[in-house]
Amino acid sequence: MTDISMHQQHPGLDVLSRPAEEFVNDPSVERMWAMKAMEHAEVYFNILCSVDPKLLRLTPHDDIIYKTFRETFPDMKVDKISEEDLKSHEQKEKWRPFCQQFKNIVEDYSFGTLMRADCTGEYSEENSILTTRIQFYAIELARNKEGLNDIVRKTYKPKESKK
């Protein structure tokens, strides 16, 4: 019996590790990225439905991410996030240095990640915002530690994976 590599099982997956400059809005790459982002969102939401969020560890660096986030954004309300909270010119000026300090600490810190705009709802087209992975971690860690994600486990049940 021969071993089958991940790339043989999922043709095209090695494309994701190539430099971005090689691509010009290739629809197949965009589809793969969207599938990966949705898969991450689905897995995370199912974990929230199953585990007390206050006990959840998202990375080995949760404590420093949360501490730095709250030092940088002490008054930011994280229950409901808008595009403006993340992407307005003024907010980008605050977020950029926050994100950059995790460049060599958090793997895939700048990877596009879906986040729920309203923490009381599930992922949907209307309730999802595209963020960087480190923004996702910072806001979700705050939601978890501050008890805002507790409602998810009470309201929703884990969903079957669509594979």
Domain of 121: which CATH number?
Answer: 1.10.3560.10
The DSSP result for 90-133, as a single string, is: HHHHHHHHHHHTTTTTSTTTTSEEEEESBTTS---STTEEEEEH
Is 7 within the bounds of a domain? no
Q: Are 58 and 137 in contact (CB under 8 A)?
A: yes
Q: Are 42 and 123 in contact (CB under 8 A)?
A: yes
| pLDDT tens by residue, 68-85 | 999 999 999 999 999 999
Domain of residue 80, residue span: 27-155
| Residue 162 pLDDT | 57
Most confident option among 6-10, 62-66, 83-87: 62-66
Is 16 within the bounds of a domain? no
Is 6 within the bounds of a domain? no
Is the per-residue pLDDT at 144 higher than 50?
yes
| pLDDT tens by residue, 36-50 | 888 888 999 999 988
Please state the rounded mean pLDDT for residues 49-76. 95
Is 21 within the bounds of a domain? no
What would the two tokens of residue 101 be? 């300090």
Is 110 within the bounds of a domain? yes
| Residue 24 pLDDT | 63
Is 108 within the bounds of a domain? yes
Most confident option among 11-15, 25-29, 105-109: 105-109
Is the per-residue pLDDT at 110 higher than 80?
yes
- Average pLDDT of the chain, as a whole number: 85
Q: Are 66 and 138 in contact (CB under 8 A)?
A: yes
Q: Are 133 and 106 in contact (CB under 8 A)?
A: yes
| Residue 158 pLDDT | 74
| Residue 84 pLDDT | 92
Q: Which of 7-11, 29-33, 54-58 has the lowest mean pLDDT?
A: 7-11
Q: Are 138 and 69 in contact (CB under 8 A)?
A: yes
- For 58, the 3-state DSSP assignment is coil
Q: Are 51 and 144 in contact (CB under 8 A)?
A: no
Amino acid 50 reads S
- For 33, the 3-state DSSP assignment is helix
The total number of structural domains in the chain stands at 1
